[in-house]
Amino acid sequence: MNKYPNILFITPCAFSKETGGGITFTNLFNGWPKDKIATIHSDNTNLDFTICNKFYKLSSKEIRYFGLKKYKTETKINKPTDNNYQRTTYNFIYKIKYLFFGDAFPNKGILSRDLTNFIDNYKPDIIYTILGTSYIMDIVKKASQLYNIPISIHIMDDWINGNYNKGFFYFLEKFRINKKFKFLSNKANILIAISDEMKLRYEKHYNKYFHVFQNTVDIKKFKNEKVYVNHIPTIIYVGSIFKYSQSETLKILCESILTLNSNGFKINFKIYTSKDHSVLLSEFNYMNNISFHDLITNDFDYFNTLNSANILVLPTNFDSNSIKHIGLSMPTKLPSYLISGTPILVIGSKKTAQVKYAENYKFAHIVNDDSIENIMNSIKLLITNSEYSNNLVNNAFNTAYKNHDQNIVRKDFQNLFINNFNKKN
């Protein structure tokens, strides 16, 4: 009988209902014995203990910047004026850092005594990681070598090419990151990409075989009959909003909706996101027909909200930096969109994996430019042409059944680790 190995997550984002990585982890590892998962992380979101209850939070004991301990922002402030001083100092340091290194301040990871004690007590068989930062890569390498355990790498964003492109000395950190990734990918027993496009690109570049696994959904549990509860047609967006991903296209969508309303075509736009991540709040929060809401962490409320909409939007920016960063990625929310019973509007470049996926399976209406007029016409089409919208919804259901059924995909995913472990034991 095959045994479940002890999996050690070493990851910048942990099990959480607030991040794409955390949600994907939860769905793919659902059903794995809870005592056989432990997580080392640097996540600041609310953790989800459904799948894992052994967590170790990385701190300045394990993360070094230029060889120094990370500055402790939690230091107690006694004087009110110190807040302003600290904020001004932080902003100045950040600007200097960005000028020289962009978003990639040089860092490294070490195995502290506390961290090795955590690993010693757990006794892992396999390391599972999404990498993503220099210090995570260091800790993965050192833990693998110290405990002589194999590495499994799951790439969810093309951060290798999308990051480390700004600042006077960006090339230094980029060189370090590429060198570390090549070393770890050569050592890895299992390599996983998040999309077919990423698989093709990475296999060609690194000459290694990549499996493909992305997020799943429990179709049997959450698929509902379509129910509209809106007096005014409603568009919904769910997820993070970042400058390098979707913020610019979401701004254009907001402008399109405001224009539609001013021309007598009434429609609401509801955005569910972490307010800490939204760069749109200051510009559109008080506009009529546009509203911001907290992320929905209850599964049934989440799926009922998607089901109640008239359109679900899946946007990406069109600038080259954004395409470089997310061009090979696949949004975590896509499987839930597919089974929502709501037509999907995809706005993005033909160069991105999610647009190519929508084209191949015809599960969404696609706008390949940032024209306000084209976006407005597409919204009108999806709301007024029920036959066309229903056809997209049926294609979306079929795509979900074929590629995202949790009961099928999760079993294949978990068997990768179970089979790989039992072959060697």
For residues 230 and 150, state if they share a domain: no
For residues 184 and 140, give the distance between their C-alpha atoms in angstroms, rounded to a whole number.
8
For residues 174 and 297, state if they share a domain: no
Question: Who contacts 157 (Cβ-Cβ below 8 Å, separation ≥6)?
Answer: 132, 194, 325, 326, 328, 329
Question: Who contacts 98 (Cβ-Cβ below 8 Å, separation ≥6)?
Answer: 166, 167
Q: What CATH number does residue 295 fall under?
A: 3.40.50.2000
- How far from chain centre, in Å, is Cα 203? 22
Residue 99 falls within a domain, yes or no?
no
Residue 352 falls within a domain, yes or no?
yes
Q: Percent of the chain scored above 90 by pLDDT?
A: 66
For residues 370 and 247, give the distance between their C-alpha atoms in angstroms, rounded to a whole number.
12
For residues 50 and 34, give the distance between their C-alpha atoms in angstroms, rounded to a whole number.
8
Determine the average pLDDT of the residues in 129-144. 94
Reported as a single tens digit per residue, the pLDDT across 190-225 is: 999 999 999 999 999 999 999 999 999 999 888 877
Average pLDDT value over all residues in the chain: 87
For residues 417 and 387, state if they share a domain: no
For residues 198 and 340, state if they share a domain: no
For residues 330 and 183, state if they share a domain: no
Look at 266 and 166; give whichever has higher pLDDT: 266
Residue 191 falls within a domain, yes or no?
yes
Residue 74 falls within a domain, yes or no?
no
CB 291 within 8 A of CB 277: no
Question: Who contacts 360 (Cβ-Cβ below 8 Å, separation ≥6)?
Answer: none
For residues 122 and 250, state if they share a domain: no
Nearest CA-CA partner of 214 in 122, 130, 147, 141: 130
Look at 275 and 244; give whichever has higher pLDDT: 244
For residues 302 and 198, state if they share a domain: no
Range of the domain at 267: 219-403
pLDDT confidence of 76, banded at 50, 70, 90?
very low
Reported as a single tens digit per residue, the pLDDT across 237-258 is: 998 888 888 989 999 999 999 9
Residue 111 falls within a domain, yes or no?
yes
Q: How many structural domains are present in the chain?
A: 2
For residues 343 and 390, state if they share a domain: yes
For residues 411 and 393, state if they share a domain: no
Residue 394 falls within a domain, yes or no?
yes
Q: For residue 372, what pLDDT is reported?
A: 96
For residues 259 and 286, state if they share a domain: yes
* pLDDT reading at 127 higher than 70: yes
For residues 182 and 128, state if they share a domain: yes
For residues 212 and 340, state if they share a domain: no
Q: Look-up: residue for tokens 């799948």?
A: 51
Residue 262 falls within a domain, yes or no?
yes
Q: For residue 89, what pLDDT is reported?
A: 45
Q: For residue 23, what pLDDT is reported?
A: 93
* pLDDT reading at 165 higher than 50: yes
* pLDDT reading at 34 higher than 80: yes
Reported as a single tens digit per residue, the pLDDT across 286-308 is: 577 898 888 898 899 999 999 99
Helix axes 247-262, 372-384, angle to 10 degrees: 70
Residue 2 falls within a domain, yes or no?
no
